[in-house]
Amino acid sequence: MDRILIRGGKRLTGKIAISGAKNSALTLMPCALLTDEPLTLRNLPRLADVDSFGHLLNELGASTSVEGTRPNEFGRVLSVRASRLTSTVAPYDIVRKMRASILVLGPLLAREGEATVSLPGGCAIGNRPIDLHLKALEALGAEIELSAGYVKASAPNGRIAGGRYRFPVVSVGATENALMAAVTARGTSVLDNAAREPEIVDLCNLLVAMGAVIRGIGTETLEIDGRDRLHGATYAVMPDRIEAGSYACAAAVTGGDVELVGAAPNDMRATLDALSEAGVLVEETANGVRVAAANGIRPLTLNTAPFPGFATDMQAQFMAMLCKADGTSTLTETIFENRYMHVPELARMGADIEVHGRTAIVRGVQKLTGAPVMATDLRASMSLILAGLAAEGETQVNRVYHLDRGYERLEEKLQAVGADIERVGDG
C-alpha cells in the first residue's frame, strides 16, 4: 500500500491550481440518470470517488467516456449517456465504498419510478443516517421500504406527485436527493430549511441547464415545478472550496505565500475570514486568492456549521494549522460526533490537544516532529499532511487511499510550491 513521505520545514511559495469540486462532481454525475440525452461535465477532478461513481453509473446501464487521461493532465471531461437504464439497483459492493452513492436514489426514482439502493458506506466520521433523505422522498409521494440492508423506493403510478417538506436540520445530501427526485414530479414541490451550500447551487444550476424549473436557488426555500422530461447539457464543475482551503492552511502553517488559482472566494468566505482572524494575509487576485503568512498564527475559536458557516470539512485542517499558533484555540464540531480521530495521530507529532466531547482545545506548540502516522478519513488525512509540512524531520502518512478519494494529484501540487513530499509504494 502506498505511503506519503514528507520532510517538513519548507516554506511553500508559488501557485496551486484548484481542481473541480469533489463534493459537487459526485452530486452532478447522477443527474445523467434524469435524461436519455448526453450529459457532459467539464473540470471533473481525477479522484478515486469520481471513478467509483462512474462505475456505479455503468452498473445502472449508463455509458461513460472520458477525455483528459494524459498522465500529466489535471481535470477531465466526462460524458455520460443513460439512453436506457438496465437496472434500478445500486449494489452493496459499490455503494459500501462511497457514501455519495445514495445520490442515485432520487434520480432513479424520478426516471424509472423505482430504485433499490444499498445503505451507504464512506468515511467513519460518525453517524450519518439517511432518514432525512427517505422522509423527504416520502413527503414528495414516494413509498419507502427498508429490507436486507437496502432502501427500496417506488412511486405510485410510476411518477411521484410532488409535495412539501421541511428539513428538521440542514442536510446537504437529503436536499440533493429530494431536488433530483422533484424535478420530474407531476406537480410542484417545496423544500424548506434546505441546504444552501455552493454545491447545492451548482446542482440547481445544472438541473436548470437541463430544463428544470427551480426558484429560490441559494436560499433555504427551494420551489421546484416538475417537468415531463429533462434534456442533456454541458456544464463545468465548480472549483473545490475544501481543496482550496486545505492548501490555504498549508501556506499558513509553513509561513508561505501561495496563490490558489481558480479558487472562488465567495464560496469559501468563512474559511478566508477565519484565516484573516488568525493573522494570515488573504488577498483576492484576478485569478483566485493569495494566502501569505509571515508573522505567525494567532489562536482561534471556531464552531463548525452549515453554509455559510465554517465548514466541517475544514475542521481537521485548521486544527493542524492551529497546532502552530501562538496560544490556545478552541474548535467545536457541531455536525459530526466522531470527527476527531486525527487527534491521536497529531499528538504523535507533538501536538497538544485535549478533546472534551465535541470540543477540542488546541494549545500551540513551538515545534512538531515528524513521525509515522495513520490516516483515518479523508480530511483527517489532509490534517496529517499539513502537520508533516510544518514538522521537523520526516513524516510518513499511511493509508493514503483516503487522500486519493478527495485530493487530485496532491503530491504534485505541493511539490510545485516547494514541498519535499513524495509517494512511495511497499515495493
Binding site feature residues for UDP-N-acetyl-alpha-D-glucosamine:
99, 128-132, 313, 335
Catalytic residue (one of 31, 123, 204, 323): 123
Q: Is 31 among the catalytic positions?
A: no
C-alpha closest to that of 39 among 205, 238, 233? 233
Residue stretches of the annotated binding site:
22-23, 99, 128-132, 313, 335
- Residues that constitute the known binding site for phosphoenolpyruvate: 22-23
The CA distance from 306 to 312, in Å, is 8
List the catalytic residues.
123
